[in-house]
Amino acid sequence: MVNEAIELDLKGEVCPLTFVKTKLHLEGLESGDHLTVIFDSRSAISSVPKSVKSEGHTIIGIDQEDAGTWKVHIEKA
């Protein structure tokens, strides 16, 4: 079975909604699925990966797309 890869665009959202929406999206995925979350909130880029890890998921990587946009790659536990 191939794990699903999904992208969630949260540009324009601010904390704590960035984590809440990320968490809700992860809850709908299967273990091993990959979720890429796009942020333009500087506070989200530090808080969301920390919160996601505390929930037991894996941060695969973080890419800065441009001066104000990041992609966080998550694997669901």
SS3 (DSSP) at 63: strand
Strands 5-9 and 34-39, bridge-based pairing: parallel
- The catalytically annotated residue of 6, 7, 13, 15 is 15
Residue 15 falls in the annotated catalytic set: yes
Torsion of CA 35, 36, 37, 40, to 10 degrees: 170
Query: What residues are labeled active site?
Result: 15
